[in-house]
A = this chain, B = another copy of it.
Amino acid sequence: MKKDKDFQLSCPIPIKDYPQVLLAHGSGGVLMHQLIEKIFHAVFKNPILDQAHDGAVLDISGGKIATTTDSFVVYPLFFPGGDIGSLAVHGTVNDLAMCGARPKYLTAGFILEEGLPMETLWRVVNSMQQAAQDAGVQIVAGDTKVVDKGKADGIFINTTGIGIIEHDREILPQSIEEGDVIVLSGDIGRHGIAIMAVREGLSFESEIKSDAASLSDLVMKIFDTKASIKCLRDLTRGGLATSLVEIAKTSGLSIEIEEKKISVREDVNAACEILGLDPLYVANEGRFICFVPPQDADKVLKVMMSHPQGKGAGIIGYVKKDKNADVIMQNQIGTLRIIDMLSGGQLPRIC
CB atoms of A141 and B68 under 8 A apart: yes
Say if the beta carbon of A130 comes within 8 Å of chain B.
Answer: no
In angstroms, Cα B351 to Cα A136, docked, is 32
Question: Which residue in chain B gives the minimum CB-CB distance to A91?
Answer: B143
CB atoms of A145 and B62 under 8 A apart: no
Task: List residues of chain B with CB within 8 A of the CB of A237.
Answer: 27-28, 32
CB atoms of B28 and A345 under 8 A apart: yes
| Closest-CB distance, A220 to chain B (whole angstroms) | 16
CB atoms of B60 and A99 under 8 A apart: no
Query: Quick one: which of B54, B70, B161 contacts A95, CB cutoff 8 A?
Result: B54
Say if the beta carbon of A21 comes within 8 Å of chain B.
Answer: no
CB atoms of A345 and B29 under 8 A apart: yes
**Interface digits, A162-181 against B, CB 8 Å rule (1 contact, 0 not)?**
11010000011110000000
With A29-B343, A158-B109, A160-B160 as known contacts, state yes or no: A66 contacts B58, CB within 8 Å: yes
Interface on chain A toward B: helix, strand, loop, or mixed SS? mixed
| Closest-CB distance, A126 to chain B (whole angstroms) | 20
Query: Quick one: which of B27, B67, B150 contacts A55, CB cutoff 8 A?
Result: B67
Say if the beta carbon of A269 comes within 8 Å of chain B.
Answer: no
In angstroms, Cα B70 to Cα A108, docked, is 9
Number of A interface residues, CB 8 Å? 89
Task: List residues of chain B with CB within 8 A of the CB of A342.
Answer: 27-30
In angstroms, Cα B60 to Cα A60, docked, is 8
Question: Which residue in chain B gives the minimum CB-CB distance to A154?
Answer: B151
Task: List residues of chain B with CB within 8 A of the CB of A24.
Answer: 343-345
CB atoms of B242 and A28 under 8 A apart: yes
Say if the beta carbon of A198 comes within 8 Å of chain B.
Answer: no
| Closest-CB distance, A32 to chain B (whole angstroms) | 7
CB atoms of A26 and B110 under 8 A apart: no
**Interface digits, A193-206 against B, CB 8 Å rule (1 contact, 0 not)?**
00000000000000
CB atoms of A147 and B143 under 8 A apart: no
In angstroms, Cα B111 to Cα A72, docked, is 9
Question: Which residue in chain B gives the minimum CB-CB distance to A32?
Answer: B345
CB atoms of A59 and B64 under 8 A apart: yes
- Residues of A19-65 at the interface with B, using a CB-CB cut-off of 8 Å, are 22-24, 26-33, 51-65
CB atoms of B109 and A73 under 8 A apart: no
| Closest-CB distance, A306 to chain B (whole angstroms) | 25
**Interface digits, A138-157 against B, CB 8 Å rule (1 contact, 0 not)?**
00111101111011110010
With A28-B242, A110-B71, A152-B153 as known contacts, state yes or no: A52 contacts B250, CB within 8 Å: yes
Query: Quick one: which of B27, B156, B165, B173 contacts A52, CB cutoff 8 A?
Result: B173
Interface residue ranges, A against B (CB under 8 Å): 22-24, 26-33, 51-73, 95-96, 98-99, 101, 105, 107-111, 140-143, 145-148, 150-153, 156, 158, 160-163, 165, 171-174, 233-234, 236-239, 242, 246, 250, 281, 283, 341-349, 351
Nearest first, the 6 A-B pairs at minimum CB distance are A27-B345, A28-B238, A24-B344, A55-B68, A28-B237, A160-B160
